[in-house]
Structure 1
Amino acid sequence: MSLSVPTGGAVDLRVEPVDEVLAFVERSLQTCLDPNTVVRKRRSVGARTDRDTWVRIERRQIGKIGDQGWNGTEQAARVTDVAQPSWRGCVVWHDAEDSVMWRADETGLLPAEPIGTAVLSEAPELSDDWWWRFNASLDALAAHGTNRVATPDTETITQSLVTRSIRSVWPGDLDTTVEQWVPAHADLNWANMTAPVFCLFDWEDWGNAPRGLDSASLWACSLAVPALADRVRRERRADFAGRDGKLMTLFACSKILGPDAHPQDPRRGPARRMAEEIVQELRVG
């Protein structure tokens, strides 16, 4: 089935027409989407339904869908003791005129509003109870068992990817070997959590990853607000203390300091300072 989004090249669903996509999803899931609630992101669109649920629609290149598929939200429904929306059902289809797949997952509504954009420039108001539930959910997730492999930014995380990313910024003989792999959300940022009630959503990329990936990712998203970045490190200190946590911090910093990063990113200074400290620690250790 071919819908209205143009084929070929990069597609940004924030600007492309998606009316036909939304109409197809409505027919398939037998519901109506509220146009006043539509949220458009680069590769996904979401909206509230007339039965008080939420539908998230994603477009993904077939080459970005590995052997494990891309049913992360569905598979995450098996994870217990993690605050997340309940999964209700889905529809998946192949665009006949392009090398892409579409997927629409229907879930329960979020218990509160998303905290903000992925990267924050101001500190949010988060209670001690919020941080407790945040920690409890991440700890429960890491204790879960799965055969899935995390796909941050839709790229399967491997030892090779970790090494390549780190050495793209810090070349040399630094040992980048990961020791412990545990389940991670793999897209942990401030746009995928709610407050004042904690809830973690957008589970399409979760799976096994080096311990500390989620904590380092959220820390990197907080660097423009030093007090918030420090709070993340305090709350997840067990993740950051070990060798894997240090490697994941470098992995996160490589996205800020690498050749494709924005030169005016306000996080570059603190990321560089932390990275220099960690590189020294790893080389000495």
Structure 2
Amino acid sequence: MPTSAAATVDLRTESLGSVFDRVERSLGVKLDRSTEVRKRRSIGARTDRGTWVRVERRPRERIGGQGWNGVECAATLRGIAMPQWLAGAAWTDPEDAAMWRADETELISAPPVKPADRAELSDTWWATLTASLDALAEQTTTRVATPDTDTISRSVVTEVIQKAFPEATIDVSLDEWATAHADLSWANLTTPECYILDWEDWGMAPRGLDAARLLVSSLDVPEVAERVRHERRDDLGSRTGKLMSLFYCSKLVPYVDEGAPVRAEALRLLGELEPLR
């Protein structure tokens, strides 16, 4: 398969029978196909021994020097509400320009947070999330975060912001870094018990990356956005945190209407970050 084709494969529409057979042989499990949860680049299912297996496909050019065993490496983290990692397997297909990886983890029965759930999350839920993100930020790693499989860097952040706002004159200096999950979407958080799922992209990142991702994805529900601001106020209030919020807003601005909350938030941030003339 040509590299361009490999990069555009959507696992939500692919037939994966042979992949599942390979996973079952490698990990010594049977997958319950009726429990499949499909995403664009990953798919998961329960096993016959009461665990969960997540299978990911990634184009080879998206696999950097640190590898792509993020779920396995996350087993070293402490003080975080997350599934326990148990086993893994990886392989390449000579006829495909991509690699496959399967990770078996503890089964978390709590479902992902749905849009209607966000405004009803308990104080205990928020306390667990806050404590987990604080504990994560205190730990160090040689890994570098790869949100959307792109290694985070000043150049990547600058490119995204300038594409959305070519006239912007802000200084994209990322002075503070901390360990981050790097894919903290609502789909990767569970309720009523709070667990953080899908650790393939974690690593060092500009401060506030996770909080910014959660904030920007909450702007359509103002009370939820305000709760995120409150819980992660130190990160989001830092200059680096504001740049991360603008970074995630800028990813969406080209695709939203003029009056969209994400555009208003981006303009507010630009006003705070651009130098006085």
Residue number in structure 2 paired with 1:217:
213
- Aligned pairs, number: 272
Residue number in structure 1 paired with 2:131:
136
1:60 is aligned, of 58, 61, 64, to: 58
Residue number in structure 2 paired with 1:76:
74
Indicate conservation of the 8 Å contact 1:122/1:225, yes or no: no
Give the unaligned 5+ runs of structure 2.
Answer: none
Q: After the TM superposition, which of the residue ranges 72-81 and 169-178 deviates more from structure 2?
A: 169-178
Residue number in structure 1 paired with 2:268:
277
Q: 1-side partners of 2:97 and 2:119: how far apart?
A: 40
Give the unaligned 5+ runs of structure 1.
Answer: none
1:108 correspondence with 2:99: no
Deviation at residue 270 of structure 1 after TM alignment: 1.2
TM-score normalised by length of structure 2: 0.94
Indicate conservation of the 8 Å contact 2:169/2:275, yes or no: no
Residue number in structure 2 paired with 1:176:
172
Identity, in percent, stands at: 52
TM-score normalised by length of structure 1: 0.91
The AA in structure 2 aligned to 1:132 is A
If each structure's helix is expressed as a fraction of its own residues, which one has the higher value? 2
Calculate the aligned-residue CA RMSD, in Å.
1.7
Residue number in structure 1 paired with 2:226:
230
Q: 2-side partners of 1:25 and 1:174: how far apart?
A: 48
Q: 2-side partners of 1:9 and 1:49: how far apart?
A: 28
Residue number in structure 2 paired with 1:125:
120
Indicate conservation of the 8 Å contact 1:115/1:124, yes or no: no
Deviation at residue 196 of structure 1 after TM alignment: 0.8
Q: 1-side partners of 2:235 and 2:62: how far apart?
A: 28
Residue number in structure 2 paired with 1:248:
244
1:48 correspondence with 2:46: yes
Q: 2-side partners of 1:10 and 1:233: how far apart?
A: 35
Deviation at residue 170 of structure 1 after TM alignment: 2.2
Q: SS in structure 1 opposite 2:8? A: coil
Q: After the TM superposition, which of the residue ranges 167-176 and 41-50 deviates more from structure 2?
A: 167-176
